[in-house]
Chain A
Amino acid sequence: MRPRWVLALLLALVAAVVVTGVVVRAGNADRRADTLAARHGAVAAARTALTRALSYKAASVRADIAAAKPLLTGAFARQYAELATRAIIPTATRSGVSVHTSVSAAGVSSATGHDRVEVLVFANQVTTTKAKSAPVVQGRRLLATMVRVGHAWRLAELTTV
């Protein structure tokens, strides 16, 4: 009886090891798939955040800025709010400045785990003012750092490259 009992135990152990191995490897693949999917989510969020944060109309600048704030996070959100109060809103209302930002192209520059992605963005900004009849168009190269906050991606840093 003993050899059969031992054999059965060994077989069960082998099965457990094989199944555990398969499950662990599948888990690794799932994590990598999550990482790649996260990158796509971060790029989409960067497009939206940049377009909203860098666009405003003179007539509705306060509301436009307020609508963009929830898309930002951390120190950058505070800096944006300060800049808006100190410069953007006064200038826009005084000089009739409106800015429209659109994204021409964007992609993942680097990623750290699932929660932090740097997105390179080629954006175009069209600025109109009361003083100038023709709009000024500028092409920008921006590096947006997106971090995951809960289930959403937020703009945490923005630099020009």
Chain B
Amino acid sequence: MVSRWRRGAVALALVLLLALAGSAWWSVRQLHERHRLDDATAGTRSAPRVAAADLVTLLSTGDAAAEADRARLVAAATPSFAKQWRAIATQFDALAKGGVSATTKVRSTAVQALGSGAATVLVAADVTVRNGKRHQTTAYRMLVDLARHGDGWILDNLRLVP
């Protein structure tokens, strides 16, 4: 009777060990996939939000606070974006000095591509330019490339969609 119990206990222990080993293997395998999905799920929420906020900051002018915000944003961006922005910054500065102001309203955003270190976001934005009493609103279609920086995103590229 004792040996039968012992054999039973050994068999049960083996089954238990196999089950636990299988679970451990499966858990490790799923862990990597779960991290990837966590990143993807979080990215689908955060990337459009960041792209929209950055565009509003970037394409709005009119006061010193807006200029300071834009300068901070460009300083935090990737070197390639900073270079891209320098090429068009003079036009913005000229508009600001001429008393022209611009406000940007984001109509919609969408994630086109999302990886562990980069995201591409579609942004539909309306930019209203005011010069005295005159104002004109232009509808833009833009693609914003973001690069992962720590837990956040920074601007990497900005393209108008033809």
Contact = CB atoms under 8 A, between A and B. Distances in A.
A115 B24 CA distance: 33
Interface stretch (A14-22, A64-72, A126-134): A14-22
21 contacts: A4-B5, A14-B16, A15-B16, A22-B26, A22-B27, A25-B34, A39-B44, A106-B110, A107-B111, A107-B112, A108-B110, A108-B111, A109-B109, A109-B110, A122-B141, A124-B162, A139-B162, A141-B107, A141-B124, A141-B139, A161-B108
Interface of A: 1, 4, 7-8, 11-12, 14-15, 18-19, 21-22, 25-26, 29, 32-33, 36, 39, 104-109, 118-120, 122, 124, 139, 141, 143, 161
**A8, A22, A119, A120 — most chain B CB neighbours (10 Å):** A120
Nearest to A104: B161
Contact of A15 (B20, B33, B41, B112): B20
B148 to A, nearest CB: 18
A1 to B, nearest CB: 7
Nearest to A36: B40
Contact of B141 (A14, A21, A141): A141
Nearest to B120: A107
B107 A36 contact: no
A106 B122 contact: yes
Given A105-B143, A120-B110, 5 more contacts: A15-B16, A18-B20, A19-B23, A122-B124, A122-B141
Contact of B109 (A7, A11, A120): A120
A120 B124 contact: yes
Contacts of B113: 107
B5 A36 contact: no
Chain B interface, DSSP helix/strand/loop, else mixed: helix
A4 B9 contact: yes
Given A105-B143, A105-B161, A107-B122, A8 B8 contact: yes
A107 B121 CA distance: 8
A120 to B, nearest CB: 4
Contacts of A19: 19, 22-23
B13 interface: yes
Given A11-B12, A15-B15, A29-B33, A1 B5 contact: yes
B30 interface: yes
Given A4-B9, A32-B37, A36-B37, A25 B122 contact: no
